[in-house]
Every structure is written in C-alpha cells, then in structure tokens.
Amino acid sequence: MKMVWLFPGQGSQRPGMGTSWYGAPESREWLEQAAFRLENIPLRHLLCDADETTLQDTKNAQPAMYAIGLAVVRYLRALGAEPAAVAGHSLGEITALAACGALDPEWGLYFVRERARLMSQAPEGGMAAVLGLSAEAIEEALPAEVNVANFNGPAQTVISGTISGLATAEEALKRAGAKRIIPLRVSGPFHSPLMRPVADALARILRDAPITAPSCHFYSTVSAARETDPERIRALLAEQVCAPVRWTETASLIGPVAALEAGSGGVLQGLCRRIPGAPDVRPADTPEACRSLATP
C-alpha cells in the first residue's frame, strides 16, 4: 500500500537522530555523499554526536534535517516503497520536492545550506506559539508588525514579528483568551513579511535551479494546494520564508489517508492528530520503523 510521505521542518531535530541511519548501508551511502557535498558542515557529528544547543543553530539544523529526511527516502525505496503523495512543513517542503523527483537531491543540499545561511542572518525578531485560541481570533488581535507564521491546527498557531511587536501581541492575546504563549528558540521572524530580503535572495538562487514536475502528488504548504508546474514551485520555494505555513489546510486537503513522517521528532504526527480529517501519520524515524511500515 502506498502512503503519503510527510517531512518535518526545523525544530524536529534531536541529538543522535542519525545514528541508526549510519548503520544501514542504503541510507549511509546518501549520508556520506551529503557530507562530502556540504564540505565545511560536519554532518556526521551533527547527526550522531551534537548536543541540543548545537542542533538548534539554523545553519546546522536545516542541512541535518534535510539529510535525514532523504536518508529515510533512500531506505524506504530500498524496501520497494514509493509515495502516493508528499508534503513538508517549512524546510520539509524542500525534502518533499527532492523525494518526489522535482528537485535534484544534491542541488537541494546546496539550496538548504544557502537558505539556512540567509535565514540565520535574518532581521531581528522572533516567533511564539499560541495555544488555545483560534487562528481567526489571533489574527484579529495581532499588531501590524506581527503575523501568523504557522497555521498548525485548531489549537496551535505560531506568530512571528519584531521583538516589540511580539511583546504587544502577548498582552493582546492574553486578553483575547489565549491559554499559553510560548516563545520559540529561533534566530529570526521566520515566515513573516520581515523575511522579504531573504526571499528575494532565494529567488535569485532558484532562478537556474533544476526543478521539474513532481512524479507524484506534491502538496505545497505555501499555497495549501497541489502544485505541478515547475515555475510555480520555483516561485513558492522563494516565497515560503516570508509566507505562513498553511499546515492545517494542507493536512485537510490530503485527507484521512495513511501517512508516514520521514525523519526525527514526531511533530507532524502530533499536529495531524488534532486536525479533523487529517492523515493518520505513523513514525518512520528508524530503519526498524520503516521495515514495519513496508511489511504488508
């Protein structure tokens, strides 16, 4: 049975997440190839030995998560599995495009490295998760310098903006009835209009990117729609960093089908459990988990 393959983004990284994948020849070959292409990034150290603080650095987290996602893909394909459809949360969207053949995996390493570098130089700002308040109520309460960054589900929305704007937003959201507001450990106001300079720089990098039509259904969390046109995908990849992640809509569009989360963390499993009509997501974070999914 074909399943939908879902790919998590930054924030799902965990210490030691690559250890089991280096023990499997099918995935180790890709990881060694990725380490060679990434040159000055110590990929094996990041995946096997780095601590949580090191992995929180955007320049480390994004290449590590992309590499692990495609290590899972290599292993699944060695088992004879192919996706019915793919989607990814933020960074995971790039992994999804490589998994469905729309993006060359090695070029993706270069792009993710540059994306991480540019995002780590983002304007000053931050992000926070808002729990227990609808997205509509949150949007009504936000000041002009703060925007919704992630529509993660009915009870969790992430906001992004300037430091002063987030402080103002926190007070307004508490008055509106938010249960909790949790600052996120990120280096900038990701997925907000403040990231426009980064989006413009990524658009220049993507101008000559080898992007082709996906080999299976690809769902973009920028448009919350199935996308097939390479030029449209190219534009969305650049726009992604200053646009919200529309995960709730995308998960509902995919529907209540069998899916796997290809990589570390289990974040997408948790989000989808709280979205009515979303995929039934199972973990694919170790070779053993992949084998259990591939067994009829």
What residues does each domain of the chain span? 3-122+192-294, 126-183
The pLDDT value given to residue 155: 87
Nearest to 146 by CA among 91, 198, 183, 179: 183
User: What is the pLDDT, as a whole number, of residue 1?
Assistant: 66
Q: How many C-beta atoms surround the C-beta of residue 118 within 10 A?
A: 20
Report the residue count for the chain.
296
pTM summary value: 0.95
**CA torsion sign, 45 to 49 to 53 to 55?**
positive
Q: What is the pLDDT of residue 287?
A: 95
Helix spans in 39-143 (H): 43-48, 52-56, 58-78, 92-99, 105-120, 135-141
What does the alpha-carbon distance between residue 57 and residue 63 come to, in Å, rounded to a whole number? Answer: 11
The predicted structure's pLDDT at residue 227: 98
Catalytic residue among 27, 90, 192, 220: 90
Residue 189's pLDDT is: 96
pLDDT for res 123: 87
What is the predicted pLDDT for the residue at 296?
Answer: 59
DSSP character at residue 101: T
Of the residues 89, 160, 191, 220, only one is catalytic, namely: 191
Same fold, 3-122+192-294 and 126-183: no
Residue 42: partners with Cβ closer than 8 Å, 6 or more residues away: 35
90 is catalytic: yes
pLDDT of residue 248: 97
- Exposure letters 56-67 (e unless 16+ CB within 10 A, then b): bebbbbbbbbbb
Architecture of domain 3-122+192-294: 3-Layer(aba) Sandwich (3.40)
Look at residue 122 in the predicted model and tell me its pLDDT. Answer: 86
Architecture of domain 126-183: 2-Layer Sandwich (3.30)
Q: Which residue positions in the chain have pLDDT lower than 50? A: none
